[in-house]
Amino acid sequence: MKANGLKFGNQRGFSMIEMVIVIVVMLVMLGIAMNWVMGMAKDARNAQQSDQLAKELSLIGKASKAYLLTAPAATYPLNTSVNIPITTLITGGFLPTDFAARAGTGTAAISPFGQPYMVVARRIVAGEPPTVVVSEASTPLPVKLADVGVEDSDAAILAFKQKVAAQTGRDYKAISATIAKSSRTATGVGNAFTKDLTAYFTAGFTQASAVALVNFKDLDPDDGGEGGNPVADAPKYSNCQVVQGQLISGLTQFMNVCSATSGPGGTDGGRRIVGDRDMSVCGNNGQITVLPFGGTLTSGLDESDLIYIQNYPQGCYGDYDAVEGRCRQKTGRTYGIVTMNSVQVASKQCSRFYYTNSNPALYREDKSQVADYNVCCKVDPLPSP
């Protein structure tokens, strides 16, 4: 039968091979979608667990600092390391009774990655409160690492703990660092400082750990919020802030200013520059400047945002490692950070790493403008003789 030139009847349906091909394609697409969803879920758990670890390290640090002002801690001898059990902080009312109690552990004070918290105090100056190092003992449980998408390798664990340390300082205002596997040296965020802790621990760490440091005067001068303990007959520094310099139009130099009313060196009640005029961020990271009121201003590079795209070949066409199940290059952003007395006070994006949406994908880096920072304080004049 024919109608309008079209043929009806005896029309062929899908063959068995065609049906199989369609089903296979659908299964492959479903597998890719499931891997993507599972990857997103791991990223969410990663963010939640790293924040929880950062919060608990800072809470233990604050509790230890308060406990060391009590009578029992007054007997701690000079240059002797003393372990402070978490139970002591709990029974003393410095931490809640269920602090870090996790299902299946049977005890409190276990980190989100199955590691017992460790608190070591050591008095290094007579008449002053002991210093404290809060860390994680032992090694993270592989199942806990897998749950947040962290590879069970030394490099991956160190990178994750560096991310936690950065979060501890940025979000919870604690002096934070990391100690690498087999080491007893704490390294500040962005390599802002190093602190030899050989006297605190008898052996190197079995795995990398994020740490909180308490009562270290060279990292956190006890300034009572007023910018330091000036010596007699010295100016008093107050209302200190870190200010980004202004880029001079048409040049690559920065003009450092403190305020619109006083300007550099102003003494009319405004602020004056007291920090390094060339504290470069996204340029010469790793600079350290000693501040006149005590402590330091440092610059560093935070790479904790850089991650591998996992289980998603479309994210990096032509550069996907099927064996590792991830793209070969990390994507994300790096940030230049400024720390004053080891607490982060400023941050600026330095670079963005990404793959282009092409086939094959190209790996790119977009760099941001270098910035200069300086410390501005109100400086009271010398007292009259």
The pLDDT, as a whole number, for residue 19 is 82
Q: Is the pLDDT of residue 289 over 70?
A: no
Nearest CA among 221, 181, 187 for reference residue 204: 181
Residue 79 contacts residue 124 (beta carbons within 8 Å): yes
Q: Comparing 60-69, 98-107, 201-210, which segment has the lowest mean pLDDT?
A: 98-107
Q: pTM higher than 0.75 for the full model? A: no
The answer to whether residue 125 sits within a structural domain is: yes
The pLDDT, as a whole number, for residue 265 is 45
The pLDDT, as a whole number, for residue 184 is 94
* Highest mean pLDDT out of 76-85, 225-234, 287-296: 76-85
Phi–psi pair at 109, nearest 5 degrees: 65, 40
The answer to whether residue 92 sits within a structural domain is: yes
Q: Comparing 195-204, 220-229, 275-284, 322-331, which segment has the lowest mean pLDDT?
A: 220-229
Q: How far is CA 161 from CA 54, 165, 190, 294, in A?
A: 10, 6, 13, 29
Which tokens is 100 given?
């870090």
The pLDDT, as a whole number, for residue 60 is 92
User: Is residue 207 domain-shared with residue 244, that is, in the same domain?
Assistant: no
For residue 88, the enclosing domain spans: 44-214
User: Is residue 104 domain-shared with residue 160, that is, in the same domain?
Assistant: yes
Strand 209-214 and strand 131-136: pairing?
antiparallel
- pLDDT class for 21, splitting at 50, 70, 90? confident
| Cis amide linkage into residue 85, ω under 30° from 0 | no
Which distant-in-sequence residues (6+ apart) come within 8 Å of 282 by Cβ?
A: 336, 348, 349, 350, 351, 367, 368, 369, 370, 371
User: Is residue 245 domain-shared with residue 113, that is, in the same domain?
Assistant: no
Q: How far is CA 366 from CA 119, 326, 329, 362, in A?
A: 42, 22, 15, 13
For the chain, the distance separating the N- and C-terminal CA atoms, rounded to the nearest angstrom, is 119
Instruction: Report the domain count for the chain.
Output: 2
Residue type, 378: K
The pLDDT, as a whole number, for residue 260 is 43
The pLDDT, as a whole number, for residue 221 is 47
User: Is residue 209 domain-shared with residue 241, that is, in the same domain?
Assistant: no
- pLDDT class for 257, splitting at 50, 70, 90? low
Q: pLDDT, tens digit, for every residue of 156-185? A: 899 899 989 988 888 888 889 999 999 999
User: Is residue 94 domain-shared with residue 155, that is, in the same domain?
Assistant: yes
The answer to whether residue 209 sits within a structural domain is: yes
User: Is residue 207 domain-shared with residue 266, that is, in the same domain?
Assistant: no
- C-alpha dihedral (130, 133, 137, 139), degrees to nearest 10: -170
User: Is residue 133 domain-shared with residue 209, that is, in the same domain?
Assistant: yes
The pLDDT, as a whole number, for residue 119 is 95
User: Is residue 195 domain-shared with residue 342, that is, in the same domain?
Assistant: no
Q: Comparing 284-288, 347-351, 359-363, which segment has the lowest mean pLDDT?
A: 284-288
Residue 112 contacts residue 52 (beta carbons within 8 Å): yes
- C-alpha dihedral (51, 53, 59, 64), degrees to nearest 10: -150
